[in-house]
Amino acid sequence: MTQRARIAVQVKPQHASFADLRRAAALVEELGADMLLTWDHFFPLSGDPDGRHFEAWTTLSAWAESTDRVELSVLVSSVGYRNPNLLADMARTVDHISARDGTGRLILGIGAGWFERDYTSYGFEFGTVAQRLRTLDDDLPVIRERWGRLNPAPTRNIPILIGGGGEKVTLRIAARHADIWHGFGDAETIAHKHRVLDDWCARIGRDPGEIVRSAGVSPKPGRFPEDLDDYPASAEKLYAVGTRIFTVGLEAPTWDPGPIRDLVAWRDARNA
What's the pLDDT score for residue 223? Answer: 46
* DSSP letter for each residue of 34-58: SEEEE---SS-SSS-TTS-B--HHH
DSSP letter assigned to residue 179: S
H or E element at residue 26: helix 18-31
pLDDT under 50: residue ranges of the chain:
1, 223-227
State how far the Cα of 215 lies from the Cα of 220, in Å rounded to an integer. Answer: 15
Cis omega before residue 253 (within 30°)?
yes
> What domains are defined for the chain?
6-271 (3.20.20.30)
H/E run at residue 159: none
Per-residue pLDDT, 221:
53
Given this model, what pLDDT does residue 113 score? Answer: 94
Residue 44 phi, psi (nearest 5):
-60, 150
Q: Which of 61, 247, 86 minimizes the C-alpha distance to 163?
A: 247
pLDDT of residue 220: 64
123-168, pLDDT tens digit by residue? 999 999 999 999 999 999 999 999 999 999 999 999 999 999 999 9
Cα distance between residue 193 and residue 241, in whole Å: 10
For residue 107, the SS3 value is coil
Length of the chain: 272
| pTM check: above 0.85 | yes
Query: Contact, 175 vs 202, CB < 8 A?
Result: no
